[in-house]
Amino acid sequence: MQSSFNKAGVKEDVDISVDLGGLKLKNPVVVASGTFGYGLEYEDFLDISAIGAVIVKGTTLEPRSGNPSPRIAETPAGMLNAIGLENPGVDVFLKEYLPRLRDKGVTVIVNIAGNTVEEYARMAAKIEGNEGVAAIELNISCPNVKKGGLQFGTHPDTVKEVVEAVKKETSLPVLPKLSPNVTDVVEIAKAAQAGGADALSMINTLLGMAIDIKKKKPVLANIFGGLSGPAIKPVALRMIYQVYKEVDLPILGGGGIMSSEDAVEFILAGASAVSIGTGNFVNPRLALEVVEGIRNYLQEENIRSVRELTGMAVIK
Amino acid sequence: MPTLEKGLVILHNRLARDFYEIELVAPLIASSCKPGQFVHVKVGGTMDPLLRRPLSIYDVDKKLGSITLLYKVVGRGTELLTRVGVKENIDIMGPLGRGFSLADNQHVLLVGGGVGIAPLVYLARAAKEKGCQVTVLYGAEKRGELVAFERLRKLEVDLMVATRDGSAGHKGLVADLLHPKFLPPKIDFIYTCGPEPMMALVKKYAEENGIPGEVSLEEHMACGVGACLGCARKLKPDDEYYVKVCKDGPVFRMDEMVL
């Protein structure tokens, strides 16, 4: 392996900044919605302003108390969750949390989830003009709420409609988060593009379940939950690869990333940036360790910019 | 302040079938933790099982900078933990959660059952240091599972035990010892940790006698810091919102909850 040394024998710095359809990130590693709270919960463990961006917990128009317990279950190399979008609502987020994150210099992406197309649009309108928001991620793929969420993300027509409605209300980059619980993810990605999406976030969790054989009942009170963690990595990689080939939009890719090697795989498959989710629970410093790992990889591979790496493994 | 620390294992003993104690040198955690708080432990280096295991702090040696954890093997995670050897490092996050409140010079009663004795041992040590009169009621299935007995005895607390099979102390439930003839005349505060039916009886006794108290709850957790909202629980059935056992607890006031 060749390192990129300049004439003075000093390792040359590599460029790890990225731009996802107008969303400019100082590094290509973000933390996924629902796995990092509002970022403040993890302040004791790392400098949250050094992360590419923090995608905050899914936010709704009205406060939600979430699903009954048990909400989580550990599964082989992964976990199921059915939190049910517990959050204090968009108004409280903008008033209580956003100013604190802004003061700390955190790059914030707001994840929004609505019951109706109008709710998505209203939330985007409320967020518009608030300083300190870098982008909006559209949660059109939450498997754990009865209304909204997944039902929006599994039909191309509604995906297009939601993205269009939000784009009308905001000047921020909009990233719909795609569900893996579909037959053809490329069709959904194309619908998001037709609606005006600036980039794509993928993937959300896979719908799954676990059963307690002693109680002879589902483990989760919600019966079904979203599967995440290393168990879903091959599925996520495959979907990102497919979409990268067919759709000309930057991809924020994730699904079970536990190391910088995993992250590089996602970038090689077509992701412009990566999201760390369940891995945060195992190692709260993972996001920044992945940033360093990507930097080292680029130096070792003699690649000047992480942007050159995107899609390099895709066979045309 | 919570941190991530590599704890060097200096002692790891099997105390009874399925009961182990492990002592780790972790100076940052040892110097800042309080009774009732827990650490989130990464077991094994593989991705399966994936998540950390929350274990309450059983004892602390501030001089040595070590913490001791008491755990019972209940599944694959804790089973993997038994295989960790002395001189190895374990990745731990902590101290986490809200611990017990503790005032000086009080008459306190601690009621623990099974592995639930763990946080009460550290609490007993802290209470003695604060000049409290400490009475401990300790219940287990049988004599061999009274694994914290020696540690409590050395702390010179007033100790009464109960076993289900009668092999030591009172035969029956530890809650049977909640009777004026066994207890000091004055109790200012009651703490309990263990199976929830036991804690419900302790809480009932505390309420009937107008004594304030705290309980320590157990819940499956993912993040341990209040971010994932996985360890949600309604303290009262009619509450609109869920508390997070990891962040709002694991210690809760008896009067704010129904057991």
Pick from B3, B121, B136, B15: nearest CA to B61: B121
What class has domain B107-216?
Answer: alpha beta
Distance of CA B80 to the CA centre of its chain: 21
Q: Are A13 and A33 in contact (CB under 8 A)?
A: no
pLDDT tens digits for range B200-257: 999 999 999 999 999 999 999 999 999 999 999 999 999 999 999 999 999 999 999 9
Residue A273: pLDDT band (50, 70, 90) is very high
Cα distance between residue B94 and residue B90, in whole Å? 12
Q: Domain-by-domain residue ranges, chain B?
A: 3-96, 107-216, 217-253+255-259
Give chain A's domain count: 1
User: What's the one-letter identity of residue A5?
Assistant: F
pLDDT tens digits for range B130-145: 999 999 999 999 999 9
Q: Is B54 annotated as a binding residue?
A: yes
pLDDT tens digits for range A3-20: 445 555 555 689 999 999
Q: Is A278 annotated as a binding residue?
A: yes
What pLDDT, on the 0 to 100 scale, is given for residue A150? 64
What pLDDT, on the 0 to 100 scale, is given for residue A147? 57
Residue B44: pLDDT band (50, 70, 90) is confident
Pick from B31, B42, B9, B20: nearest CA to B223: B42
Minimal Cα–Cα distance from B80 to chain A, Å? 15
Q: Which among B3, B50, B246 is the top mutation candidate for probing chain A, defined by the most A β-carbons within 10 Å of its own β-carbon? A: B50
Q: Quick one: closest CA in A to B5, which residue?
A: A45
Q: Are A228 and A273 in contact (CB under 8 A)?
A: no
Q: Which among B93, B221, B228 is the top mutation candidate for probing chain A, defined by the most A β-carbons within 10 Å of its own β-carbon? A: B228
Q: Residues A20, A73, A142, A166: which is the catalytic one?
A: A142
Q: Are A294 and A260 in contact (CB under 8 A)?
A: yes
**Do A282 and B4 lie within an 8 Å CB cutoff?**
no
Residue A302 lies in a domain: no
Mean pLDDT confidence for A154-167: 94
Q: Which one-letter DSSP state was computed for residue A5?
A: B
Q: Is B77 annotated as a binding residue?
A: yes
What are the strands of the beta sheet with B189-193, ordered from one edge? Answer: B170-171, B158-163, B133-140, B107-113, B189-193, B213-216, B251-253
The domain B3-96 is classified under which CATH number: 2.60.40.3880, 2.40.30.10, 3.30.70.2740, 1.10.3720.10? 2.40.30.10
pTM above 0.90, yes or no: yes
Full residue range of the structural domain in which residue A196 is found = 19-291
pLDDT tens digits for range A25-50: 999 999 999 999 999 999 999 999 99
Q: Worst-scoring range by mean pLDDT, A148-152, A228-232, A276-280, B84-88?
A: A148-152
Residue A7 lies in a domain: no
List CB contacts (< 8 A) between A278 and chain B. Answer: 50, 222
Residue A38 lies in a domain: yes
A32 among known catalytic residues: no
Q: Which one-letter DSSP state was computed for residue A70?
A: P
Peptide bond into A70 cis (omega under 30): yes
Global ipTM? 0.94
A261 touches B at CB < 8 Å: no
Chain-wide mean pLDDT for chain A?
Answer: 94
Provide, rounded to the nearest whole percent, the portion of chain A with pLDDT above 90. 90
Domain B217-253+255-259: assigned CATH number: 2.10.240.10
Residue A143: pLDDT band (50, 70, 90) is low
**Do A81 and B42 lie within an 8 Å CB cutoff?**
no
With a CB cutoff of 8 Å and minimum separation 6, the contacts of B1 are A44, B32
Which residue in the block uniquely carries the two structure tokens 């891995």?
A: A279
Q: Are B72 and B128 in contact (CB under 8 A)?
A: no
